[in-house]
Amino acid sequence: MTSARLLQAVDLHVRAGSFPAVRGVSADFEPGRFTAVIGPNGAGKSTLLRALLGLSPPESGEVRLDGQPLRHWTRAQRSSALAYLAQGEAVPESARVRDVVALGRGAGSWKWGLIPTRPWTDEDEEAVRGALDRTDTRRFEHRKISELSGGERQRVSLARALAAHPRYLLLDEPTNHLDLAYALDVIRYVRCEVAGGLGVVAVLHDLNLAARADRLVLLHQGQVLAAGPPDEVLTPDYLHAAYGVRVSVTRTAGRLLVIPED
Ligand SMILES: Nc1ncnc2c1ncn2[C@@H]1O[C@H](COP(=O)(O)OP(=O)(O)OP(=O)(O)O)[C@@H](O)[C@H]1O
């Protein structure tokens, strides 16, 4: 694919505080692809994600979107193209589900209630409904966030991000703290969006969930140890090099399965 529609890290070096957390990462993220970023704790995954969003400026190298350095994009252009679901995202407890999803439209802010910053349009309404439907949150759209389980909240945050109609969705550990069913639901919702053309970059710890991505980027000590389709990256050798754990990798019902041997 030409660089015209790509999100790219080009020889990216990023510091987290004083620590060189990302050291020379180059990777292409495509629309209509689900890329999982994996690697051990401290490998630089979150720092890479924040740099891709323009939230952590690189020390050297650059992030490009559509072939243009991200620093040339205005903040508004960036936030309409790239949506972010942070780890443990803070959501106003007293807000109702629908209001949180509406915040994703960038038409207002929250302070004891939704404060509009521009008139609400039919397009906004349609985007919010679509996001509620596609994350199966419409049935509790009038409930307060404080009344929801962790898994339900995560779906609402996902709906909020999707309501923006981004071109890329960047997710930091979206399945953390979710039970198996909720975690699989998140992956299923993501896959549906990807089929519709969304580019997804998700930091995942569960290698068996990551195996459901189209492409993996395995980080180790701030560098790319391996990148490619899951069966090329989830190998015993790469996983031992990254995690220091011996694993066996098998294929069951057409899916890769990583089993620790320790
Ligand atoms: N503000 C900071 N000051 C110093 N070091 C930091 C800071 N933030 C992060 N780091 C370090 O940078 C490295 C990469 O952190 P990062 O959060 O990107 O890793 P990660 O792969 O997302 O880890 P995890 O899987 O544990 O969330 C870690 O070693 C971390 O301790």
* Residues 208, 109: Cα–Cα separation, whole Å: 37
CA of 104 to the centre of ligand 1 (A): 27
pLDDT for res 234? 97
Phi-psi region of 86 (alpha: psi -120 to 50; beta: other; left: phi over 0): beta
CA of 69 to the centre of ligand 1 (A): 24
Between 107 and 62, name the one with better pLDDT: 62
What does the mean pLDDT of the chain come to? 94
* Residues 177, 241: Cα–Cα separation, whole Å: 26
Ligand 1 pocket at CB < 6 A = 16-19, 21, 39, 41-47
Superfamily of structural domain 3-260: P-loop containing nucleotide triphosphate hydrolases (3.40.50.300)
Contact predicate 210/175, CB 8 Å: no
Q: Which of 13, 23, 45 to mutate to test the pocket of ligand 1 (most atoms within 8 A of CB)?
A: 45
* Residues 238, 225: Cα–Cα separation, whole Å: 7
Instruction: Give the predicted TM-score (pTM) of the model.
Output: 0.94
Q: Could you identify the atom of ligand 1 that is nearest to the CA of residue 50?
A: 18
pLDDT digits (tens, 9 = 90+) for 104-151: 998 778 887 788 888 889 999 999 999 999 999 999 999 999 999 989
* Residues 11, 184: Cα–Cα separation, whole Å: 33
Q: Which of 12, 14, 19 to mutate to test the pocket of ligand 1 (most atoms within 8 A of CB)?
A: 19
Domain coordinates in residue numbering, the chain? 3-260
- For residue 90, pLDDT over 90 is answered with no
- The share of the chain scoring above pLDDT 70, in percent, equals 99
Structure tokens at 111: 């302070």
pLDDT for res 254? 87
- For residue 16, pLDDT over 90 is answered with yes
pLDDT for res 2? 64
Cα 243 to the center of its chain, rounded Å: 22
**Predicted complex ipTM exceeds 0.90:** yes
CB atoms within 10 A of CB 2: 7
pLDDT digits (tens, 9 = 90+) for 205-248: 999 999 999 999 999 999 999 999 999 999 999 999 999 999 99
